[in-house]
A and B are shown apart, each in its own frame.
Chain A
Amino acid sequence: MRYLRFAALLPLLAAAAACTDETPTLSGDDFPPGTELVTREVIVPASEFLNILGVFSGYTGSRDFRDLVVAENYDGLYAHAFSGFAGFPDKVTYRRAGATRNDSLFSYGPGRIVLRLDTLAASELPLRLQLWELGQRYDPRTTTWTTAIDTGAVETPWTVPGGTPGQLLSQGFYNGAVAEGDSLVFDIDAEAVGRLADTASLGVMITGLTEGTRVQIRELVLRTTALPDSADPDTAITVNASSTRKAFVFTPDQPSPGPGVLAIGGIRSARTLFELDLEQLVCADPLELPTPCDPVPLGEVRLNRVSLLLRPVDTPGGYDPIAPLAVTARAVSEPELGRYAPLGNFIVDSDTASGPYRILQPGDTLLEIPITGFTDATTRVDSLPTAFALVSEFGGIGVPTFGVGFFEAGARLRLVYTVPVRRRLP
């Protein structure tokens, strides 16, 4: 039995042997013959690899948009924003002589409606906005530039297209100075505050006064004070009324791209459907490119990058994206359904910073959409869909944009690939 103890050492020695391996690493040019890798880059017209199946839009409207938009003849675009306010108290509580008191009889002091601006395009500063009492009831879910209420059973047009104004309550200014931050303030008198606090209030309308402006409003709040009748005259209770029944209307509608133009995003969520044509040949010569080259099917090379190169063009009608436009691509398994084709998985190569989205900043002249993994998979598995849609979705990364991205239809496809090699046996 004594030597069984020695035998027990074997597993320990085996474990030790397995844990200390290091493989010697040479450096320099001692690669074995036949292992010289060649990576090629080709940029080809997308027409050779892609079929454009169509450009569709109309999937979303202002009710799907997080922000409010106000525009005043911004390249022909007009937009007005509506809001009501909620959160006014039925009674106020205050302390007097050390005792807590409630009073349902109170009046309001002057107030301020504070707008937090998001993005702004203006031909000149300061930006001037006007605050009106609305003169007509509206349905925030169905209102349009011409229609105040459209519930199906009832359709009530605006008396004045774009929103029937009541009394002009205030004008606000924003000159872009740092001290003002991103807020614009309307000062309103106590009487107006009292009317807006009334449950019968129709709300307010915000319009632009400065021509050539388009601004997005992230939030608005009404700040005022309540003055209890039973309190000392200098007793004022702060009241913050939040925005409710937010809506905006605009005219004209998002433009459709002309022939030879692709559209992505915007208030109508334009999308462009493509189909990849993977029956392509690429040069696979392992050494310098001869003329002519030795072509092989795309599936026989290793793809390092496949991306769509899109060149932005001007968007007409005041719908240019003035904020970063997040673009992505999603697989489409039933492209024959056209505008009704459901969207599948994201197919853009994931990036640590922006995930499956690529951001077009205002002023960018090129947008690269990498679809390497998708292309690689579809070259190897015949059953995978080869169609996809370029979209910019609400709820995605970044700020949803009211503006729509227009791009040259003559997109290009960038292919970076490495030719497989195998070492020659010694």
Chain B
Amino acid sequence: MSRPRILAGAALCAALCTAFAGALPAQSSLSARGLGYPLEPLTARARALGGAEAALPEPALSLVNPAAVVGLPAGGFSVTFQSDGFTPEGDDADETTTTRFPAVQVAFPFGERAVLTVGYAAFLDQNWRVEREDTLDLSSGRTPVVDRFAASGGVARFRAGGGYRVLGRLDVGATIDVYTGALRDTLVRFIRDFETTRLGADYRWQGVGLTGGARWRGEAFSVGASLSAGGTLEVEPRDSAAGGKSYTLPVTFNAGASARVAQQLLVAASLRWQGWSAADGELAESGGARDALSAGGGIEFEGFSLLGRRAPLRLGARMTQLPFRDDAAGTEFADERALTGGLGLQFAGGQANLDLAGEIGRRGGDTAGLDESFWRVSLSLSLLSR
């Protein structure tokens, strides 16, 4: 594929993702906590490996470590789709499923040392709603009422930057991160036989941050790390009826390592720390925030083939602390734990890769204000223009 063609494809993909970014679906009731449910811009391969993306050995499109793209032999793009489902514990347990685009990225190599990248990924999911039935005592009698509040929207992160090979085995990268998003609050009161009350408020999110990363690739061992930091995430109403608010963006540190322990067996692990406690004071009224740690790892076996093609098998596990707490008294922060696995398929000598990942886990607990099982399926398609 020529470079113009792949640019056209990337533009289409970016347009699609932009169109859908305002309607990111929800992730459990956690979307109602704090600033929403934090979303990780992981590829399906990394998902299958327990979230370990910071230090995979070969060059790859990554929105976790900007140094990971160094060494791409040709321009390429990657898009990841994700579908989730969760089932709350309890008598009224109903499964809810959602689908989203967590990430899309395009890369353009310049020479053998430099690669420019542009990416767009969901950052916070704020889709949720709550419903309540009640009655009103009116002069015409007791009248049933249903109130419904719905929040719809989220924050996404547009990331542009590049990577550079500073030494034979050491790559570095840096990006500028632009946070953008929209949120619409809808509050409806249905009163039987009366006119319905509909109230709405629209908000706009914006912020700027920076990310830097590095990766060292050995013969059989790689390590990598990235650090993101920013100023504030601003939310402003689109009307003048209320004021806006600012939240401190967290410092995020990703570190990982991978080792080829056998010719066809890769082991990878990663750690992520997000300093959300910087926003604890700003979120005090809605439950507060904490620093959140996430750790995971997995193995990749490359000795498997499917339909005559290389089909790496992956297994992993991860644990993630969720940063926002429910505002109900006595509620603790929630954690997520999941077993992960997946399969890759390579086409055209590795120019096209299709990766599938699945997760099964639980989140919450007795004191977390929620207790639910969940599953997640991710699908990534990456193409190189060589």
Contact = CB atoms under 8 A, between A and B. Distances in A.
A423 B98 CA distance: 25
A41 B152 contact: no
For chain B, give the interface size range.
Answer: 35 or more
Interface stretch (A30-38, A61-69, A249-257): A30-38
A9 B97 contact: no
B262 interface: no
A6 B201 CA distance: 40
Interface in A59-86: none
Nearest to B100: A17
Interface string A15-33: 0111111111111111111
A421 interface: yes
A13 B78 CA distance: 13
B59 interface: no
Interface string A357-379: 00000000000000011001000
B195 A420 contact: no
A4 interface: yes
B145 A28 contact: no
A392 B215 CA distance: 84
B81 A17 contact: yes
A20 B348 contact: no
Nearest to A372: B195
Q: Identify whether the interface residues of B are mostly helix, strand, loop, or mixed.
A: strand
Contact of B347 (A2, A27, A32, A421): A2
A31 B130 contact: yes
Interface string B129-150: 1111000101100000101011
Interface residues of A, number: 52
Contact of B25 (A22, A28, A416, A425): A22
Nearest to A309: B139
B310 interface: no
A26 B195 CA distance: 24
B357 interface: no
Contact of A10 (B1, B13, B147): B13
A422 B242 contact: yes
A340 interface: no
A388 B204 CA distance: 43
20 contacts: A3-B351, A11-B16, A17-B99, A18-B99, A19-B99, A21-B99, A23-B128, A23-B150, A26-B128, A26-B130, A27-B92, A31-B147, A32-B32, A32-B151, A33-B285, A33-B286, A43-B139, A422-B185, A423-B201, A426-B35
Interface of A: 1-4, 6-7, 9-11, 13-14, 16-33, 35, 37, 39, 41, 43, 302-305, 349, 372-373, 376, 414, 416, 418, 420-426
Given A9-B381, A425-B235, 9 more contacts: A3-B351, A24-B26, A24-B129, A25-B128, A27-B132, A302-B198, A416-B191, A421-B187, A425-B245
